[in-house]
């Protein structure tokens, strides 16, 4: 397959955003597949960024998931620097940028955090998590 047809870092961001939204809606890959007339394996490939999502299919996914197509590109602009991807690569010589892979617990945390409407509470929680992470890093540095 030609390199231009291989999934890019942006394709992985789109796939991850599909996964996030699916989890927010509490849908399984099989349920989403049924809504889109796809197999759960195809949904899985989209989410992992293994297969590219066509423009038409992304429009269908957005419609089924109740979001605008732009939702799937949120954060993608942070990956670009003068039109070139700036994220870490999968491995040496692959030339394939990788979107971060988030586990189920992290996705649950993100979904719950986004539901908090009180700005001051959200900021307080974020500061608490940052402090905990910083304390953990300091402890790791001592060991």
Residue pLDDT tens, the chain, 143 long = 555 666 677 888 899 899 989 998 999 999 999 999 999 999 999 998 889 999 999 999 999 999 999 998 877 766 654 444 444 333 333 443 444 556 677 777 877 888 889 999 999 998 999 899 888 877 777 76
Please give the torsion angle defined by the CA atoms of residues 10, 16, 22 and 26, in that order, rounded to the nearest 10 degrees. Answer: -160
DSSP 94: T
The model carries a pTM of 0.59
DSSP states of 29-91: HHHHHHHHT--HHHHHHHHHTSSPPPHHHHHHHHHHHTS-GGGGGTTGGGGEETTEE-SPBSS
Do residues 75 and 13 make contact, with C-beta atoms less than 8 angstroms apart?
A: yes
**What's the CA gap between 72 and 86, in Å, rounded?**
19
């Amino acid at each position: 397959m030609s390199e231009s047809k291989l999934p890019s870092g942006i394709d992985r961001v789109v796939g991850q955003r599909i996964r996030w939204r699916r989890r927010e809606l509490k849908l399984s890959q099989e349920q989403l597949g049924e809504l889109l007339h796809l197999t759960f394996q195809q949904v899985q490939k989209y989410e992992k960024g293994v297969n590219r999502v066509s423009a038409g299919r992304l429009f269908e996914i957005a419609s089924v998931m109740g979001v605008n197509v732009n939702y799937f590109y949120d954060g993608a602009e942070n990956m670009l620097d003068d039109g070139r991807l700036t994220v870490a690569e999968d491995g040496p010589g692959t030339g394939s940028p990788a979107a971060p892979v988030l586990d189920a617990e992290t996705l649950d945390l993100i979904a719950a955090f986004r539901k908090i409407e009180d700005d001051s509470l959200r900021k307080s929680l974020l500061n608490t998590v940052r402090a905990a992470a910083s304390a953990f890093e300091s402890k790791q540095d001592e060991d």
